[in-house]
Amino acid sequence: MSHASPPVRRVTDWDFDQLSALAAEHDTPLYVVDLDRVAANYERFAAAFPDAHVMYAAKAHTGRAVLETLLDAGADIECAARGELQRAIGAGADPDTLQYTAVNPPDADLDYAAELGAEHPGLTVTGGARDTFDRLEARGYDGRVAIRINPGIGTGHHEKVATGKDAKFGIPYDEVVELADDLRERFDLVGLHAHMGSGVLHDDLDDHCRAIGKVADLAREVTAETGVDLEFVDFGGGFGVPYREDEEPLDVETVGEKVREAVGELDAQIKLEPGRYVVADAELILTEVNTVKETPEATVVGVDASLATLIRPAMFDSYHPIANVSAPDRELEPVSVGGPCCTSADVFCTDRPIARPEREDLLAIGNAGAYGYELANQFHSQPRPAEVAVEGDETRVVRRRESMDDVTRVEREAPSAEEGDRRR
């Protein structure tokens, strides 16, 4: 793999000979993650914000190899669930550096966070509902907290990720000062947090910065009205990468300047949480063609990957670039590529020009690092794929392929009816 660090890595920039060898050795469908690219993306982003505290948003990709790579690169980790806290700690993160952003947290998540905070007072819990803070207090937690704000401005690649204007996320803007005055008596109120959306590119940047400016204004108001000296203001992540071949990558240095201008003078540390930007173009999926069907409406290309492997096209109508690794120089032909699931949603593209696929060709589905394996599932009782990491000239399996035994284990290990009766 190339170790250069251009602003974007296209699917055609990968070493096709190496990809073919990996598919032959490890079978398909197969996730391939380039850990050098993960580190380079983080370092490029951090360099564009030299005065900010840059964390990695673990929800984009919680693979242990990815987390270890980012911890080695100097990143701290932001988590959105108990499992992410546990995985970050398992990868070597210091619990005192973690930030937990609780969204309608289940009891078990808050139990874990309260217990973790009692042992590690550096943990910060961010709440987006008054209930969350009341539930924390009921568990005896009185440590570091931040308030998640709903700025009323959402940005991003799809309405389902425009969190900045979704009532599910954060305290209404006009209620934050009053809540801050209350929380400062009950906890160690250290910060404010907002996340405007995901997949922000050039067209969304002005709205994104406008929302950042609103949050910064509110931070100054909180300090003026309550006397709380905020340690940080967290402006979230959401910075995108170009999935389509004709989209230009963000110039993160220019983005850094725009963000600093939007924030203005602020007597608090700026925090940022890139997730997608760090991992999206560092991973792809390899899949084999098993069917080519000519119909009056379309040429349908069937592959062994499916929406169980990558659900984003079905869930968000997301575009992922696709390349024919076996024969990149063949004539382009408009084809529809889909998997083996019994639903019309199991389609990766429709009438897209691709070097004409034939049975047993290897295709690469690019930009699969963000919310790819994280959303993989077992629909149709399909075992989840293996994941291979590339680092320098070395490759290693970092997630083995599931078997049918893995798929059915939780049923076979469930308590028998008699055991269930005894437990009741």
Average pLDDT over residues 213-231: 96
Q: Which CATH number fits domain 281-410: 3.10.129.10, 1.10.150.20, 3.40.50.720, 2.40.37.10?
A: 2.40.37.10
Q: What's the confidence (pLDDT) of residue 4?
A: 54
> In angstroms, rounded to a whole number, what is the distance separating the alpha carbons of residues 306 and 302?
9
Q: What's the pTM value of the predicted model, to 2 decimals?
A: 0.93
- The torsion of the CA quartet 84, 86, 90, 93, rounded to 10 degrees, works out to 70
pLDDT higher for 71 or 5? 71
Residue 274 annotated in ligand binding: yes
Q: Which CATH number fits domain 35-277: 3.30.470.10, 3.20.20.10, 3.50.40.10, 3.40.50.300?
A: 3.20.20.10
Q: What's the confidence (pLDDT) of residue 281?
A: 98
- Count Cβ atoms within 10 A of the Cβ of residue 306 and give its class: 0-12 exposed, 13-18 middle, 19 or more buried: buried
Q: What is the DSSP string of 380-407?
A: GGPPPPEEEEEETTEEEEEEPPP-HHHH
**418 falls in which pLDDT band (50, 70, 90)?**
low
Average pLDDT over residues 39-65: 97
Residue 238 annotated in ligand binding: yes
Average pLDDT over residues 287-300: 95
For CATH 3.20.20.10, the residue range(s) in the chain are 35-277
Q: pLDDT by residue (tens digit) across 239-279?
A: 999 999 999 999 999 999 999 999 999 999 999 999 999 99
For CATH 2.40.37.10, the residue range(s) in the chain are 281-410
Residue 277 annotated in ligand binding: no
Residue 105 annotated in ligand binding: no
Q: pLDDT by residue (tens digit) across 195-209?
A: 887 678 887 788 888
Cis peptide before 29, with omega less than 30 degrees from 0? yes
Task: Check: CB of residue 363 under 8 Å from CB of residue 357.
Answer: yes
Q: Where are the beta strands (DSSP E) in 52-143?
A: 53-57, 76-79, 99-102, 124-127
342 assigned to active site: yes
Question: Taking all residues of the chain, what is their mean pLDDT, rounded to a whole number?
Answer: 93
Q: What's the confidence (pLDDT) of residue 3?
A: 43
Backbone CA torsion sign across 154, 157, 159, 161: negative
Tokens describing residue 30: 């197969």
**364 falls in which pLDDT band (50, 70, 90)?**
very high
**153 falls in which pLDDT band (50, 70, 90)?**
low
Question: Of 79, 341, 342, 349, which is the active-site residue?
Answer: 342
Q: pLDDT by residue (tens digit) across 307-327?
A: 999 999 999 999 999 999 999
Residue 352 annotated in ligand binding: no
Q: What's the confidence (pLDDT) of residue 290?
A: 98
